[in-house]
Amino acid sequence: MQIFYLKNIKSDFLVGQEYNHCYNVLRKKVRDKIKLTDGKGNLYSAEIQQIKNRKIHLNKLKIIKSIKKNKNTFVAVAPPKSFNRVEWMVEKLTEIGISKIFLIETSNSERNKIRIERLEKKIISAMKQCNSLFKTEIEGIIKIKEFVKKYKFKNKYVADIKSKSEFFKKKINENSVILIGPEGDLTNDELSMLKKEGYNSLSLGDMILRTETAAVVGGFLMNITGEKK
Distance CA 177, CA 181 (A): 13
Q: What is the pLDDT of residue 228?
A: 44
Do 107 and 193 lie in a common domain? yes
Q: In which band, very low, low, confident or very high, does the pLDDT at 173 lie, cut at 50, 70 and 90?
A: low
Residue 174 has pLDDT above 80, yes or no: no
Residue 43 within any structural domain of the chain: yes
Q: What is the pLDDT of residue 226?
A: 55
CA-closest candidate to residue 174, choices 57, 38, 72, 55? 72
Distance CA 133, CA 5 (A): 9
Q: What is the pLDDT of residue 30?
A: 95
For the segment 2-21, the average pLDDT, to the nearest whole number, is 90
* Number of domains observed in the structure of the chain: 2
Q: What is the pLDDT of residue 169?
A: 58
Residue 32 within any structural domain of the chain: yes
Residue 167 has pLDDT above 70, yes or no: no
Q: What is the pLDDT of residue 27?
A: 94
- Report yes or no: 77 and 101 within 8 Å, Cβ to Cβ: yes
Residue 14 has pLDDT above 60, yes or no: yes
Distance CA 208, CA 50 (A): 54
Do 93 and 162 lie in a common domain? yes
159 bridge partner residues = 202
Do 117 and 219 lie in a common domain? yes
User: Which domain covers residue 206, as residue numbers?
Assistant: 73-224
Q: What is the DSSP letter of 199?
A: P
Phi, psi angles (nearest 5°) of residue 163: -75, 150
For the segment 107-127, the average pLDDT, to the nearest whole number, is 94
Residue 170 has pLDDT above 70, yes or no: no
Do 137 and 186 lie in a common domain? yes
Do 214 and 137 lie in a common domain? yes
CA-closest candidate to residue 111, choices 86, 148, 136? 86
Do 154 and 44 lie in a common domain? no
Strands 100-105 and 137-143: parallel
Q: What is the DSSP letter of 168?
A: G
The average confidence (pLDDT) of the chain is: 91
For the segment 174-184, the average pLDDT, to the nearest whole number, is 91
Q: What is the CATH number of the domain that holds 101?
A: 3.40.1280.10
Residue 5 has pLDDT above 70, yes or no: yes
Q: What is the pLDDT of residue 168?
A: 57
Do 57 and 41 lie in a common domain? yes
Q: In which band, very low, low, confident or very high, does the pLDDT at 161 lie, cut at 50, 70 and 90?
A: confident
Do 84 and 194 lie in a common domain? yes
Q: What is the pLDDT of residue 70?
A: 79
Residue 229 within any structural domain of the chain: no
Do 77 and 127 lie in a common domain? yes
Distance CA 221, CA 81 (A): 25
Do 125 and 189 lie in a common domain? yes
